[in-house]
Amino acid sequence: MSSKRVLALWDEKGENAKDTSILRKKSVELPVPMDKESREIIQILIDSFLERDDAVGLAAPQIGINKRIIAFRIKGFEGKGEIIDPDDFEVLINPRITQKRGEMVKGVEGCLSCPDIQVEIIRFPEIKVRALNAKGEKINKKYLDYVARVIQHEIDHLDGKLIVDYGGDIYYPKSKQLFFEKLFKY
Ligand SMILES: [Zn+2]
């Protein structure tokens, strides 16, 4: 396994300028058909994702690779924990949302790249996505509810957008109030 550290906008010392610049960059598509290097990058993302038992999803820029690849759970959210079954997660390459439907739903999201906070964000409950799977095959698939939310969150990462950009209410532990007040310049 060759997994990588997850980048974050801040650490306990404050803003993390180097990580931020990578997380804020727009990621580029993988070549089609996929080459050897692309397959290696996909495997690194999968390894990094599977190593984190606290991750619902992970996008390549979060491990310092500005390519359009995301990995996310499609079941087994309740207990989190280690993913053992390969059917429990999916990988999408060059994903594009082709349809958004339904009345937008409010939900609270966290992000490994925005440690210790949660943000209220409204998202579509139904999306259609065109992408390649990990084998490089074209797929066109509908996702609903929580999984649709996770995918919208991960695709945001590919465009350098993070949960703090939505302007929604931000929640953090009281013990870190001073830190975040300073960081967000209240
Ligand atoms: Zn995230």
| pLDDT tens digits along 18-71 | 999 999 999 999 999 999 999 999 999 999 999 888 889 999 999 999 999 999
Q: How confident is the model at residue 82 (pLDDT cuts 50, 70, 90)?
A: low
Query: What is the 55 CA–ligand 1 centroid distance (Å)?
Result: 9
Query: What is the 182 CA–ligand 1 centroid distance (Å)?
Result: 22
Query: What is the 62 CA–ligand 1 centroid distance (Å)?
Result: 8
Query: What is the 31 CA–ligand 1 centroid distance (Å)?
Result: 24
Rounded to two decimals, what is the model's pTM?
A: 0.94
Of the candidate ranges 2-11, 20-29, 82-91, the one whose mean pLDDT is the lowest:
82-91
10-101+127-161: in CATH 3.90.45.10? yes
What does the pLDDT average to over 85-94? 89
Q: Where are the beta strands (DSSP E) in 74-168?
A: 89-101, 105-109, 118-123, 126-132, 138-144
pLDDT of 185: 81
Query: What is the 153 CA–ligand 1 centroid distance (Å)?
Result: 6
- Among 124, 121, 106, smallest CA distance to 164 is for 121
Question: At CB < 8 A and 24+ separation, what contacts does 166-170 make?
Answer: 166/119, 166/121, 168/119, 168/120, 168/121, 168/122, 169/119, 169/120, 170/117, 170/118, 170/119
Instruction: Say yes or no to pLDDT of 79 above 60.
Output: no
pLDDT of 186: 63
Query: What is the 5 CA–ligand 1 centroid distance (Å)?
Result: 14
pLDDT of 22: 97
The catalytic site residues sit at 154
Query: What is the 35 CA–ligand 1 centroid distance (Å)?
Result: 27
| Per-residue pLDDT tens digits for 95-153 | 999 999 999 999 999 999 999 999 999 999 999 999 999 999 999 999 999 999 999 99
